[in-house]
Structure 1
Amino acid sequence: MPKRTKTARANRTSDRVLTAKQNRELAALTSLRDDQIDTSDIPELPPRAWKEAVRGRFYRPVKQAVSMRLDADVVAWLKKRGKGYQTRANRILRQHMLADSKRA
Protein backbone atom coordinates (compact mmCIF):
# COMPACT_ATOMS: atom_id res chain seq x y z
CA MET A 1 0.00 0.00 0.00
CA PRO A 2 1.50 3.41 -0.94
CA LYS A 3 2.43 5.81 1.80
CA ARG A 4 0.13 8.69 2.33
CA THR A 5 1.72 11.96 1.46
CA LYS A 6 0.87 15.39 2.66
CA THR A 7 0.79 18.27 0.28
CA ALA A 8 0.85 21.90 1.19
CA ARG A 9 0.73 25.03 -0.89
CA ALA A 10 3.73 27.25 -0.50
CA ASN A 11 3.15 30.89 0.26
CA ARG A 12 3.26 32.81 -2.97
CA THR A 13 5.30 35.96 -2.59
CA SER A 14 3.70 37.40 -5.72
CA ASP A 15 0.38 37.56 -3.85
CA ARG A 16 1.77 39.92 -1.25
CA VAL A 17 1.48 43.68 -1.59
CA LEU A 18 4.77 45.52 -1.16
CA THR A 19 5.06 48.32 1.34
CA ALA A 20 5.93 51.85 0.24
CA LYS A 21 9.43 51.40 1.68
CA GLN A 22 9.95 48.15 -0.27
CA ASN A 23 8.78 49.83 -3.47
CA ARG A 24 11.26 52.70 -2.91
CA GLU A 25 14.10 50.21 -2.27
CA LEU A 26 13.26 48.25 -5.42
CA ALA A 27 13.10 51.44 -7.48
CA ALA A 28 16.53 52.49 -6.15
CA LEU A 29 18.03 49.08 -6.95
CA THR A 30 16.51 49.02 -10.41
CA SER A 31 18.04 52.38 -11.27
CA LEU A 32 21.60 51.18 -10.48
CA ARG A 33 23.96 50.40 -13.35
CA ASP A 34 25.85 47.10 -13.12
CA ASP A 35 29.13 48.87 -12.38
CA GLN A 36 27.52 50.61 -9.40
CA ILE A 37 26.64 47.36 -7.65
CA ASP A 38 29.09 46.35 -4.92
CA THR A 39 29.88 42.66 -5.33
CA SER A 40 32.97 42.65 -3.10
CA ASP A 41 31.23 40.53 -0.47
CA ILE A 42 30.52 37.73 -2.96
CA PRO A 43 33.38 35.22 -3.04
CA GLU A 44 34.76 34.05 -6.38
CA LEU A 45 33.95 30.47 -7.29
CA PRO A 46 36.98 28.19 -7.40
CA PRO A 47 37.80 26.70 -10.84
CA ARG A 48 36.77 23.22 -9.68
CA ALA A 49 33.21 24.50 -9.22
CA TRP A 50 32.97 25.03 -12.98
CA LYS A 51 34.23 21.55 -13.94
CA GLU A 52 30.84 19.96 -13.36
CA ALA A 53 28.73 22.96 -14.35
CA VAL A 54 25.87 22.16 -16.70
CA ARG A 55 24.28 24.82 -18.88
CA GLY A 56 20.50 24.83 -18.85
CA ARG A 57 20.20 22.06 -16.26
CA PHE A 58 16.86 23.29 -14.96
CA TYR A 59 15.55 24.69 -18.23
CA ARG A 60 12.46 22.90 -19.51
CA PRO A 61 11.23 24.02 -22.90
CA VAL A 62 7.54 24.66 -23.38
CA LYS A 63 5.96 21.66 -25.06
CA GLN A 64 3.13 21.87 -27.54
CA ALA A 65 0.87 18.92 -28.28
CA VAL A 66 0.62 18.22 -32.00
CA SER A 67 -0.92 15.57 -34.17
CA MET A 68 1.04 14.53 -37.24
CA ARG A 69 1.03 11.65 -39.67
CA LEU A 70 4.25 9.67 -39.90
CA ASP A 71 5.10 6.67 -42.02
CA ALA A 72 4.51 3.40 -40.16
CA ASP A 73 8.13 2.30 -40.50
CA VAL A 74 9.32 5.60 -38.98
CA VAL A 75 7.03 5.14 -35.97
CA ALA A 76 8.14 1.50 -35.60
CA TRP A 77 11.79 2.60 -35.69
CA LEU A 78 11.18 5.26 -33.03
CA LYS A 79 9.27 2.82 -30.81
CA LYS A 80 11.66 -0.14 -31.12
CA ARG A 81 13.89 1.23 -28.33
CA GLY A 82 10.91 1.31 -26.01
CA LYS A 83 9.46 4.06 -23.91
CA GLY A 84 10.21 7.66 -24.82
CA TYR A 85 9.74 7.53 -28.58
CA GLN A 86 8.16 11.00 -28.68
CA THR A 87 11.12 12.44 -26.79
CA ARG A 88 13.46 10.70 -29.24
CA ALA A 89 11.55 12.13 -32.19
CA ASN A 90 11.73 15.60 -30.63
CA ARG A 91 15.50 15.24 -30.06
CA ILE A 92 16.07 14.14 -33.67
CA LEU A 93 14.01 17.02 -35.02
CA ARG A 94 15.79 19.50 -32.72
CA GLN A 95 19.23 18.30 -33.87
CA HIS A 96 18.17 18.69 -37.49
CA MET A 97 16.68 22.12 -36.80
CA LEU A 98 19.87 23.35 -35.09
CA ALA A 99 22.10 21.96 -37.84
CA ASP A 100 19.89 23.57 -40.48
CA SER A 101 19.89 26.95 -38.72
CA LYS A 102 23.72 26.90 -38.61
CA ARG A 103 23.82 26.41 -42.39
CA ALA A 104 21.47 29.30 -43.06
Structure 2
Amino acid sequence: MKKESKTDWPRINAMRDEDIDLSESPELNETFFKDAVVWPAQKKQITLRLDPDVLDFFKSQGKGYQTAINKVLRRYVEAQKHH
Protein backbone atom coordinates (compact mmCIF):
# COMPACT_ATOMS: atom_id res chain seq x y z
CA MET A 1 0.00 0.00 0.00
CA LYS A 2 1.21 3.47 -0.81
CA LYS A 3 -0.41 5.11 2.19
CA GLU A 4 -0.11 3.86 5.75
CA SER A 5 -3.34 2.31 6.95
CA LYS A 6 -5.23 4.17 9.67
CA THR A 7 -7.12 1.02 10.60
CA ASP A 8 -6.64 -0.24 14.14
CA TRP A 9 -5.66 -3.76 13.00
CA PRO A 10 -4.94 -5.17 16.50
CA ARG A 11 -8.51 -4.20 17.54
CA ILE A 12 -9.97 -5.65 14.33
CA ASN A 13 -8.00 -8.89 14.66
CA ALA A 14 -9.16 -9.26 18.28
CA MET A 15 -12.84 -9.04 17.34
CA ARG A 16 -15.00 -12.15 17.42
CA ASP A 17 -17.42 -12.83 14.56
CA GLU A 18 -20.39 -12.08 16.81
CA ASP A 19 -18.92 -8.62 17.61
CA ILE A 20 -19.17 -7.53 13.97
CA ASP A 21 -22.20 -5.36 13.09
CA LEU A 22 -23.66 -6.76 9.88
CA SER A 23 -26.86 -4.69 9.99
CA GLU A 24 -25.95 -2.77 6.82
CA SER A 25 -24.75 -5.84 4.87
CA PRO A 26 -27.03 -7.06 2.08
CA GLU A 27 -28.90 -10.30 2.57
CA LEU A 28 -27.19 -13.03 0.55
CA ASN A 29 -30.33 -14.48 -0.98
CA GLU A 30 -31.11 -15.84 -4.46
CA THR A 31 -31.65 -12.34 -5.88
CA PHE A 32 -28.27 -11.17 -4.62
CA PHE A 33 -26.44 -13.98 -6.41
CA LYS A 34 -28.59 -13.67 -9.55
CA ASP A 35 -27.58 -10.01 -9.90
CA ALA A 36 -23.96 -10.53 -8.83
CA VAL A 37 -21.20 -9.80 -11.33
CA VAL A 38 -18.58 -12.48 -11.85
CA TRP A 39 -15.33 -10.57 -11.65
CA PRO A 40 -12.92 -11.30 -14.48
CA ALA A 41 -9.22 -11.92 -14.06
CA GLN A 42 -6.78 -9.16 -13.19
CA LYS A 43 -7.05 -6.13 -15.46
CA LYS A 44 -4.59 -5.77 -18.31
CA GLN A 45 -2.74 -2.57 -19.08
CA ILE A 46 -3.05 -1.57 -22.73
CA THR A 47 -2.69 1.44 -24.98
CA LEU A 48 -6.05 2.64 -26.24
CA ARG A 49 -6.65 5.44 -28.73
CA LEU A 50 -9.75 7.50 -27.97
CA ASP A 51 -11.22 10.53 -29.67
CA PRO A 52 -10.07 13.66 -27.79
CA ASP A 53 -13.61 14.75 -26.92
CA VAL A 54 -14.42 11.30 -25.49
CA LEU A 55 -11.31 11.33 -23.33
CA ASP A 56 -11.95 14.94 -22.26
CA PHE A 57 -15.49 14.02 -21.22
CA PHE A 58 -14.36 11.18 -18.98
CA LYS A 59 -11.46 13.19 -17.53
CA SER A 60 -13.86 16.05 -16.74
CA GLN A 61 -15.76 13.66 -14.47
CA GLY A 62 -12.77 13.68 -12.12
CA LYS A 63 -10.66 11.01 -10.50
CA GLY A 64 -11.41 7.49 -11.62
CA TYR A 65 -12.10 8.28 -15.26
CA GLN A 66 -10.31 5.12 -16.42
CA THR A 67 -12.55 3.03 -14.17
CA ALA A 68 -15.57 4.85 -15.59
CA ILE A 69 -14.47 4.02 -19.13
CA ASN A 70 -14.08 0.37 -18.10
CA LYS A 71 -17.59 0.36 -16.58
CA VAL A 72 -19.10 1.76 -19.77
CA LEU A 73 -17.32 -0.86 -21.86
CA ARG A 74 -18.38 -3.63 -19.46
CA ARG A 75 -22.05 -2.56 -19.74
CA TYR A 76 -21.74 -2.61 -23.52
CA VAL A 77 -20.23 -6.11 -23.45
CA GLU A 78 -22.99 -7.38 -21.13
CA ALA A 79 -25.68 -5.82 -23.33
CA GLN A 80 -24.19 -7.50 -26.41
CA LYS A 81 -24.14 -10.88 -24.63
CA HIS A 82 -27.88 -10.57 -23.88
CA HIS A 83 -28.68 -9.31 -27.38
Render the CA deviation track for 1:40-73: whole Å, top value 9, x for unaligned. Answer: xxxxxxxxxx95335569x574100010110010
Structure 1 residues 97 and 72 mapped into 2: Cα distance closer, same or farther (>3 Å)? same
The answer to whether residue 55 in structure 2 is matched with residue 75 in structure 1 is yes
What TM-score do you get using the length of structure 2 for normalisation? 0.54
The answer to whether residue 27 in structure 2 is matched with residue 52 in structure 1 is yes
Residue in 2 that maps onto 1:93: 73
Structure number with larger C-alpha Rg: 1
The aligned amino acid for 1:92 is: V
Aligned-residue sequence identity (percent) comes to 33
- CA-based RMSD of the aligned residues comes to 3.2
Structure 1 gaps, min length 5: 4-49
Deviating 4+ runs (over 4 angstroms): 54-57
What is the aligned residue count?
A: 56
Higher relative contact order (CA 8 A, sep 6+): 2
Structure 2 gaps, min length 5: 5-24
